[in-house]
Structure 1
Amino acid sequence: MKSFLVFLALVGFCLMGFIPQSKKKPVRLFDGKTFKGWEGDTIYTWRIENGMLIGGATDKEVPHNNFLCTTRPYSNFIMKLKVKLTGSKGFINSGIQFRSKRLVNPPYEMEGYQADWGEGFWGGLYDESRRNKTLISPDSIKVLKWIKKNDWNDYEIRAEKRHIRLYVNGKQTVDYYEPNAGIPQSGLIGFQIHGGGAARVAFKDVTLEELPD
């Protein structure tokens, strides 16, 4: 009888290895107080105010693109955050990089997917410093009804293997499947303030739920 019970225990232990991995609980990527887990120009470009990550300023032009990045890569996830972009002079634009990497030359650029944010690019999926084009964008008339300019907006990124979906204020703006097998599906997450404009972007309530590979 003992031998039979031991056998059942071993079988059960082996079968556990075939149970699909459960997804992890959402975690806060930004603690609201420190740059823990993030790296970038935290002296001149990025700062923390009242629980917000802020990049750029409306009273002076951002000289070039600038990114605040996570210190570790992510592959499959659901990321939720709030974003507010303000400015009236020059090119006013921001975005959220994901499955991306920092470039060596120029050192302030990133390469990879970007959930875009700004006039003419609201809620679109851009390929930053790689294919250098919008991969897919929402209906330009509909998206203007969904967004709140100069105010807080909810942004959600769902990256599941080669399937990417974007949502703005609960409305789906992008449903994209990556056809190129050579495009990396893992990398850093980064917040952008675009160069060429006197602009300020703020992010808060940043959470991420990692999904099984």
Structure 2
Amino acid sequence: MISLISNKTLLAVATLATVAWVNLTCQTPAEKEELQADFKPIFNGKSLEGWEYDPVYWSVKDGAIVGEITPETVLKNNTFIIWKGGELGDFELKLDYWISETGNSGVQYRSDRFTEVPYALRGYQADIDGGNRYTGQNYEERKRTTLAYRGQQTRITSQPDSIKETRGFVERNAWKGLNLVSELGDRAELGNLIKKGDWNTIHIVAKGNVMKHYVNGTLMSEVTDDDAKNRMLKGLMGFQVHVGPPMKVMFKNIQLKKL
């Protein structure tokens, strides 16, 4: 009799647990819409009001921010379109992007200005390129370089006190304090989830010293930045056009949620 009651009790507990799990994971359309409502558009699809940029390289076409290099406008330094909405600390950012085969770009965030060059930023970047060699990785522009390759979860540590210049702790375009925690997946297989010559979705989640880059809903890289000497916990956000051959990159449906 005691055994029978125990089994019934276990069954009831399991049933309640299942119901709770279903309630948490199977959100209704209204619940999903409420969560999505926390995201606010920061580009109106019509003009570049609220952005700082060089008009030689940035414009609006067909509801998208367009960055373009032509044979007549070859760049000497990377240039950025910078959101004028202030510094971001903890946030989520979602957007769609399209990039040409020869393109090299990225979403810059928690950055400061590199004042030696007009319209230049220095800091974390969710990398984007037309060949999908780097898309999804975490690259720190003009500072510690690669912090996580695609498919990596990493923990970043500081350079020794004896090394004063940040670039003195960089080797082969990667930070020497890049410590691999785990593999998120095969780099090439993750790259196959990114569509060439088509629109893709980037989702950045930055909370505290942890930064996650998703492409088309898949986690591509995750960085825990324990480097108190060099990390940034807030800063500017923008998009990049990289030096190189003629190219085009487009961004639309840009949605921000402050955490």
Same fold (TM over 0.5): yes
Q: Deviation of residue 45 (structure 1)? A: 0.5
Question: 2:100 — aligned with what?
Answer: 86
Alignment pair present for 1:99 and 2:99: no
Q: Deviation of residue 132 (structure 1)? A: 2.3
CA contact (8 A) 1:123 1:137 kept: yes
Q: Deviations over 1:98-126 (max 9, x none)?
A: 00112111234311000001132111100
What are the within-5 Å matches in structure 2 for residues 29-178 of structure 1?
Answer: 29-41=42-54, 43-57=55-69, 62-63=74-75, 64-71=77-84, 72-88=86-102, 92-118=103-129, 119=131, 120-138=133-151, 139-178=186-225
Q: Deviation of residue 58 (structure 1)? A: 5.7
TM-score for both structures, normalised by structure 2: 0.67
1:196 corresponds to which of 244, 250, 255 = 244
Q: What is the number of residues matched between the two proteins?
A: 184
110-119 or 138-147: bigger deviation: 138-147
Q: Deviation of residue 60 (structure 1)? A: 5.2
**Unmatched 5+ residue regions in structure 1?**
1-23
Q: Deviations over 1:123-173 (max 9, x none)?
A: 110011011234332232112211001110010000011111110001110
Question: 2:168 — aligned with what?
Answer: none
Q: Which has the larger radius of gyration?
A: 2
CA contact (8 A) 1:95 1:116 kept: yes
Q: Deviation of residue 59 (structure 1)? A: 5.4
Q: Deviations over 1:71-101 (max 9, x none)?
A: 111111110000100144xxx3110000011
Q: Which has the higher strand share?
A: 1
In 2: Cα distance, 1:65 partner to 1:169 partner:
26
**Unmatched 5+ residue regions in structure 2?**
1-36, 152-185
In 1: Cα distance, 2:49 partner to 2:123 partner:
23
Q: Deviations over 1:53-80 (max 9, x none)?
A: 0001465564131100111111111100
Q: Deviation of residue 34 (structure 1)? A: 1.7
CA contact (8 A) 1:62 1:194 kept: no
105-114 or 167-176: bigger deviation: 105-114
Q: Which has the higher helix share?
A: 2
Q: Which has the higher contact order (CA 8 A, sep 6+)?
A: 1
Q: Deviation of residue 29 (structure 1)? A: 1.0
CA contact (8 A) 1:136 1:176 kept: no
In 1: Cα distance, 2:146 partner to 2:210 partner:
18
In 2: Cα distance, 1:58 partner to 1:123 partner:
26
SS class of match (2:106):
strand
SS class of match (1:142):
helix
